Amino acid sequence: MRASAGREKPADFPSLVPATSPRPAPVRVALLGCGHVGSAVADLLALRAPEIAIRTGMYFELVGVAVADLSRERPGATALDRALFTSDAKALVERDDVDVVVELIGGLDPARTLVEAALCKGKPVVTANKVLLAQAGAELSAIASAHGVDLLYEAAVGGAIPVVRPLRESLAGERVLRVTGILNGTTNYILTRMTDDAMDYADALAEAQHLGLAERDPSADVSGDDAAAKAAILAALAFGSDVLGTTVSREGITGIRALDVAHASRLGYVIKLLAVAELLDGGPDVSVRVHPAMVPAAHPLASVRGAFNAVFVEGEACGEIMLYGRGAGGAPTASAVLGDLIDAARNLRAGSHAPAPHRAKTTVRPPSELSAAFYISLDVLDRPGVLAAVAAAFGAHGVSIRAMEQEGVGREARLVFLTHSAREGDVRATLETLREIETVERVGTVLRVIGPGDGALGQAPTGTGA
Amino acid sequence: MRASAGREKPADFPSLVPATSPRPAPVRVALLGCGHVGSAVADLLALRAPEIAIRTGMYFELVGVAVADLSRERPGATALDRALFTSDAKALVERDDVDVVVELIGGLDPARTLVEAALCKGKPVVTANKVLLAQAGAELSAIASAHGVDLLYEAAVGGAIPVVRPLRESLAGERVLRVTGILNGTTNYILTRMTDDAMDYADALAEAQHLGLAERDPSADVSGDDAAAKAAILAALAFGSDVLGTTVSREGITGIRALDVAHASRLGYVIKLLAVAELLDGGPDVSVRVHPAMVPAAHPLASVRGAFNAVFVEGEACGEIMLYGRGAGGAPTASAVLGDLIDAARNLRAGSHAPAPHRAKTTVRPPSELSAAFYISLDVLDRPGVLAAVAAAFGAHGVSIRAMEQEGVGREARLVFLTHSAREGDVRATLETLREIETVERVGTVLRVIGPGDGALGQAPTGTGA
């Protein structure tokens, strides 16, 4: 069943709407931004308000929509009264007849100023803005707490998937050990096509662009920047870390070749771009990072295909939990916004607010200090002695080899290695040495390998952190 | 990472525990029942209380544990002071120094009386009792609402998996169309072994019993009774239905043979026991049912293996969401109980409570009025004319055949049919006619087939409901 924007009339639920039911006092909503998600939120509010009123006792009324360009056509927002539009977002936020603010502008500015202004006025804010949360989540949460109102952002990570609320509430008593997400639909689509249909990276990217799944400039997705912001949010939720999204260590998928994907498949793995937030050695050290990895085909994350997203949580008591669904798109993201909006309005009415995010003093350890098994592909000259030289380089840095395979001959010769679990710093040093070997033409793809021996998701912390 | 009961000392988080932090006023907890889950809750409370206090500002203190048999050894509850035990549950619930009650006795009585007593005293109740919720959820929720306190039951469906809170809160603005769960770990384990290792039902059941995954008397699991109670709870959460667990239509897995599983695999399906709550024709009619079904191998539910559980939600705006994890076990279930306990205590402090479950007037339509594609296996005499007679029986009831295959010859001959989507009542009538055919020795397994043409999960509603 595909998501649809919900164009039907609320009269679909006639038996649920008593003709005489009084309309409850409205909750007046200001919408900042009216792109894909904003239009979908406006539509849902317009079409579902009567049904939501019956279910929740609250009638949502959109009282203003701030947009940058008043003249632009907005074919998405079919149910929107154009008279609601304004270009003065600040004035809209501060209007006395606005109870709740929904921020869907995206980016740091002016979103940050507007959200602060709303919170300082005692108005709850619902946002889907991952960049804002990843950069200023701690400060904004503190402002929200100080004013006793909600700052809710279920839609900022994983679109329609319930992620934020489960981590904050359902797992409030849990000692979370690791959270691993597939949180960028664009790169997951590209990797899925490379895996299922042996496409190469450029073709898969072009197809994703053609389908509207990738931007014309795809760099924010394929570089891991988008996933890095979400990793920072996950780290804050799971461990109370205040790591900034911009400082999260990241590797993208641009270097992954069709033959790496094929090789991973033969070994029983699929390549996925993972956003990881992990407690190290029982805390307070954490690792927060984004990188592609070889995930065992039987792992639940391996079955997350195409543009779908998922968050895999490992906790001490709960074991493994996976939350899966549509990570993007107007209607799915709007569904999450609406859930938050109902929560915020309910809390506003009750004079309460959602639990403030837990903040703790954590230290982010750099990936170089962590350990994992690695997949390393080398383009080499097919000459006697090359393997000996390469093996010596591994040995010199204490990286032990679990398996090696030569593919191709002559100019096409390639050596593919799987290492035992090794400290990433040692692996990087090995790569430096390998680059100096005359018969090594190129160090190709380097991927972490997730396997039973290395913790359920790769990067087991080393015993001796710096 | 396997769940473990969490035996370490809270001192694992030394940097998070300021030496001078004042201990907040305690939240005093009464525990009713001290089996697997009760012991795990007691352990978690004892070991995590300081850490939870830092994260939430609330210090949980276990002030009493009601058990039926005071003399019984309880090796699970390592951290429990025996002086807390009492055999008088009623008195414990009503003690003035009890703030919150956790009911883990299970079953209808005396749990129901005790939960009512707690709620009437204005004490929030957290329970993992699916039978209680499925039979008396509506009344107990009404009592909780009337007294302005929480009745929370995340652990009653899907163990550690966040299911109740996402459906109640994250999807509060969503028009949910269908919720499909794999909610019985015992049967999923048996079916997984039959699928992966070609075991027959009896051997897989025996192994599950040996591993402690199935009871000595497995009937509540294999008959679908356990899943039916959970289906009723899902229907209440998703649609506000007040269907009783005992009235949910159910079929178990006892009739499924190794050859059905093998045949499903060849056709690209896996057999799963599904608990389904579905809105029909836009509502208010619903279907609530439990039955095995052939699920396409690429469907997310097909990848839910062994004792794991999952809930697959289809909504109009959110699209497809799946929530996956450990559906049973002491520690995972205790994790969900603890999340609810923190929520209940927070609301108690704030003088608020979780949103009351939405109740709506829905009508449960019997499965016979729904449509699906079916898999039907017939043991037949291998004689000329048998197929003609069988085909005539299908035709007489308007059930059209999509594919047919004969397996075996002579005494072992078997005909396997896949139908196009057909009304279940017509299929049942066809089976009656087939049983009267002399050359049909036995009507074997009959399974719904979930396919792209029949809605994402089988039973598409018929256009003409009675």
Q: Among A123, A130, A230, A272, which one carries the catalytic annotation? A: A230
Radius of gyration, alpha carbons of chain A: 25
Contact predicate A419/A402, CB 8 Å: yes
Which of B13, B316, B352 faces A350 most closely, judged by CB atoms? B352
Residue A363's alpha-carbon distances to A229, A394, A455, in angstroms, are 17, 30, 21
The fold adopted by the segment(s) A21-160+331-350 is Rossmann fold (3.40.50)
**Residue B310 pLDDT > 90:** yes
pLDDT tens for each residue of B57-108: 899 999 999 999 888 877 766 668 889 999 999 999 999 999 999 999 999 9
pLDDT of residue A354: 84
**Cβ contact A321–B160 (<8 Å):** yes
A310: closest CA of chain B, how far (Å): 9
* Distance between start and end Cα atoms, chain B: 50
Task: Give the residue on B whose Cα is nearest the Cα of A451.
Answer: B1
Q: Does B398 touch chain A (CB under 8 A)?
A: no
Predicted local confidence at residue A147, as pLDDT = 95
Q: How far apart are CA B122 and CA B146, in angstroms?
A: 9
Q: Residue A3 is encoded by which pair of tokens?
A: 């998501």
A contact residues 81-110, partner B, Cβ 8 Å cutoff: none
Cβ-defined contact of B326 to A320 (cutoff 8 Å): yes
At B326, is the secondary structure helix, strand, or coil?
strand
The answer to whether the CB atoms of A52 and B173 lie below 8 A apart is: yes
According to DSSP, the β-strands at A26-32 and A100-103 are parallel
| Best of B7, B27, B100, B174 to mutate (most A CBs within 10 Å, chain A) | B174
- Nearest by CB to A173, from B16, B318, B342: name it: B342
**Both structure tokens of A351:** 């004079």
Quickly name the fold that domain A368-461 has. Answer: Alpha-Beta Plaits (3.30.70)
User: In degrees rounded to 5, what are phi and psi of residue A266?
Assistant: -60, -30
Q: Who has greater pLDDT, B453 or B369? A: B369
Element spanning B161, H or E: none
Determine, for residues A173 and B317 on separate chains, whether the beta-carbon distance falls below 8 Å. Answer: no
> Rg for chain B (alpha carbons), in Å?
25
Q: Where are the beta strands (DSSP E) in B175-268?
A: 176-182, 249-250
CB-based contact (8 Å) between B18 and chain A? no
Give the helix/strand (H/E) hosting B379: strand B370-380
Q: Give the residue-averaged pLDDT of A111-124.
A: 98
CA distances from A127 to A156, A159, A247, A441 (A): 7, 11, 22, 49
Which tokens in the block code for residue A249? 């260590």
Q: Is B366 helix (H, G, I), strand (E, B) or coil?
A: coil
Q: Across residues B257-277, what is the average pLDDT?
A: 95
* Sheet with strand B125-127: strands edge to edge: B85-86, B59-66, B26-32, B100-103, B125-127, B151-152
Where is B334: in which H helix or E strand?
Answer: helix B330-350
* Interchain proximity B332–A351, CB inside 8 Å: no
Distance CA B84, CA A451 (A): 44
Judged by a CB distance cut-off of 8 A, whether residue A21 touches chain B is: no
Averaged pLDDT for residues A423-443: 96
**Interchain CB distance below 8 Å, A334 and B324:** no
The 3-state DSSP class for residue B449 equals strand
Rounded to a whole number of angstroms, the distance from the CA of A29 to the nearest CA of chain B is 15
Contact state of A12 with B318 under an 8 Å Cβ cutoff: no
Interchain contact A331–B (C-beta under 8 A): yes
Three-state SS at B107: coil
ipTM of the prediction:
0.91
**What are the catalytic residues of B?**
230
What is the average pLDDT across A7-22?
42
Q: Among all residues of chain B, which has the CA nearest to that of A13?
A: B283
**CB-CB: which of A319, A332, A334 is closest to B2?**
A319
Q: Which amino acid is at A10?
A: P
Provide the residue type at A172 as one letter. A
Stretch among A75-89, A284-298, B251-265 having the lowest mean pLDDT: A75-89
Q: Does A319 touch chain B (CB under 8 A)?
A: yes
Q: How far is B411 from chain A (nearest CA, A)?
A: 40
Opening angle at CA A283, ends A282 and A287, nearest 5: 110
Chain B, window 206-265: residues with a beta carbon less than 8 angstroms from a chain A beta carbon: 240
Q: Rounding to the nearest 10 degrees, give the CA dihedral for residues B366, B297, B376, B396.
A: 70
Going by their DSSP bridges, the two strands A269-279 and A125-127 should be labelled as unpaired
**Alpha carbon A297 to chain centroid, angstroms:** 21
Chain B nearest-CA distance from A286, in A, is 13
On whether any CB of chain B is under 8 Å from the CB of A196, the answer is no
Query: Which architecture, in CATH terms, is B10-160+331-350?
Result: 3-Layer(aba) Sandwich (3.40)
Q: Tokens for A300, please give them.
A: 């639940």
Residues in chain B: 466
What token pair was written down for B310? Answer: 């999952």
pLDDT of res. B451: 74
Residue A77: its pLDDT value, please?
Answer: 66
Closest chain A residue to B281 measured between Cα atoms? A12
The two structure tokens encoding residue B322: 């799946």
CA atoms within a 13 Å half-sphere pointing along the CA-CB vector of B362: 29
Buried b (16+ CB within 10 A) or exposed e, B153-180: bbbbbbbbbbbbbbbbbbbbbbbbbbbb
| CA dihedral sign, ordered B258, B259, B264, B265 | positive
Closest partner residue to A322 (CB to CB) among B16, B173, B324 is B324
**Do the bridges between strand A440-449 and strand A370-380 make them parallel or antiparallel, or are there none, so unpaired?**
antiparallel
- B31 phi and psi angles, rounded to 5 deg: -110, 125
Average pLDDT rounded to a whole number, residues A182-209: 97
- Asked whether the beta carbons of residue B319 and residue A169 sit closer than 8 angstroms, the reply is no
For chain A, the structural domain boundaries read: 21-160+331-350, 164-326, 368-461
How close B82 gets to chain A, by Cα (Å)? 23
B chain contacts of residue A12, beta-carbon cutoff 8 Å: 282-283
Provide the pLDDT for residue A457.
40
Which residues on chain A are in Cβ contact (under 8 Å) with B166?
Answer: 162, 165-166
CB pairs < 8 Å spanning A and B? 243
A296 in reach of chain B (CB within 8 A): no
Q: How confident is the model at residue B452 (pLDDT cuts 50, 70, 90)?
A: low
CB within 8 Å: B1 and A170: no
Rounded to an integer, what distance in angstroms lies between the CA atom of residue B93 and that of residue B103?
Answer: 10
CA atoms of B403 and B421, how far apart (whole Å): 12
Give the pLDDT score at A6. 39
**What confidence score (pLDDT) does residue A351 get?**
87
SS (H, E, C) chain A: CCCCCCCCCHHHCHHHCCCCCCCCCEEEEEEECCCHHHHHHHHHHHHHHHHHHHHHCCEEEEEEEECCCCCCCCCCCCCCCHHHEECCHHHHHHCCCCCEEEECCCCCCCHHHHHHHHHHCCCCEEECCHHHHHHHHHHHHHHHHHCCCCEECHHHCCCCCCCHHHHHHHCCCCCEEEEEEECCHHHHHHHHHHHHHCCCHHHHHHHHHHCCCCCCCCHHHHCCHHHHHHHHHHHHHHHCCCCCHHHCEECCCCCCCHHHHHHHHHCCEEEEEEEEEEECCCCCEEEEEEEEEEEECCCHHHHCCCCEEEEEEEECCCEEEEEEEECCCHHHHHHHHHHHHHHHHHHHHHCCCCCCCCCCCCEECCHHHEEEEEEEEEEECCCCCHHHHHHHHHHHCCCCEEEEEEECCHHHCEEEEEECCEEHHHHHHHHHHHHCCCCEEEEEEEEEECCCECECCCCEECCCCC
Q: Is A444 in the B-facing interface, judged by CB distances under 8 Å?
A: no
Contact B171 A162 (CB under 8 A): yes
Chain B residues touching residue A350 (CB < 8 angstroms): 350, 352
Q: Which of A154, A321, A333, A341 to mutate to test the interface with B (most CBs of B within 10 A)?
A: A321
Selection from B138, B335, B151, B317 nearest residue B233 by Cα: B138
Query: Given CB atoms, is B158 within the 8 Å cutoff of chain A?
Result: no
Q: Indicate the residue of B48, B321, B325 with minimum beta-carbon distance to A173.
A: B48
State the Cα–Cα distance between residues B318 and A330, nearest whole angstrom: 9
Name residues 160-189 of chain A within 8 A of B (Cβ): 160-162, 165-166, 169-175, 177-178
Task: Collect all residues of chain A within an 8 Å Cβ-Cβ radius of residue B321.
Answer: 160-162, 323-326
Looking at the partner chain, which of A336, A346, A358 has a beta carbon nearest the beta carbon of B170?
A336
Contact criterion met (CB < 8 Å) for B334 and A317: yes
CATH of B367-461, one of 3.90.1530.10, 1.10.10.60, 3.40.50.880, 3.30.70.260: 3.30.70.260
Q: What angle do CA A73, A104, A52 make, to 5 degrees?
A: 95
Q: Which residues of chain B lie closer than 8 angstroms to A360, CB-CB? A: 16, 54
The pLDDT of residue B256 is 96
Q: Do A166 and B162 touch (CB under 8 A)?
A: yes
Nearest to A363 by CA among A201, A214, A235: A235
**β-sheet with A26-32: strand ranges across:** A85-86, A59-66, A26-32, A100-103, A125-127, A151-152
Closest residue in chain A to residue B160, using alpha carbons only: A318
The residue of chain B with its CA nearest to that of A174 is B335
Residue B120 has pLDDT above 60, yes or no: yes
Give the residue with greater pLDDT, B19 vs A402. A402
Considering only CB atoms, which chain B residues are within 8 Å of A361?
15-16
Q: Which residue has the higher pLDDT, B197 or B10?
A: B197
Cβ(A458)–Cβ(A278) below 8 Å? no
State the average pLDDT for chain B.
90
With an 8 Å Cβ cutoff, is B382 touching chain A? no
pLDDT score of B4: 43
Residue A78 pLDDT grade (very low, low, confident, very high; cuts 50, 70, 90): low
Question: Looking at beta carbons, which residues of chain A come within 8 Å of B13?
Answer: 282-284
What band does B353 get if pLDDT is binned at 50, 70 and 90? Answer: confident
Question: Distance between CA B16 and CA B49 in Å, rounded?
Answer: 13
Alpha-carbon gap, residue A178 to A325, rounded angstroms: 20
B14-69 pLDDT, tens digit per residue, is 334 444 455 567 999 999 999 999 999 999 999 899 989 988 889 999 999 999 98
Is B170's CB within 8 Å of A339's CB?
Answer: yes
Q: What percent of chain A has pLDDT over 70?
A: 91
Q: What are phi and psi of B305, to 5 degrees?
A: -115, 160
Length of chain A (residues): 466
Q: Provide CB contacts within 8 A for A344, sequence distance 6+.
A: A100, A124, A125, A126, A149, A150, A152, A354
Write out pLDDT tens, residues B241-252.
999 999 999 999
CATH topology of domain B164-326: Dihydrodipicolinate Reductase; domain 2 (3.30.360)
| Nearest-by-Cβ selection for A335 from B161, B173, B334 | B173
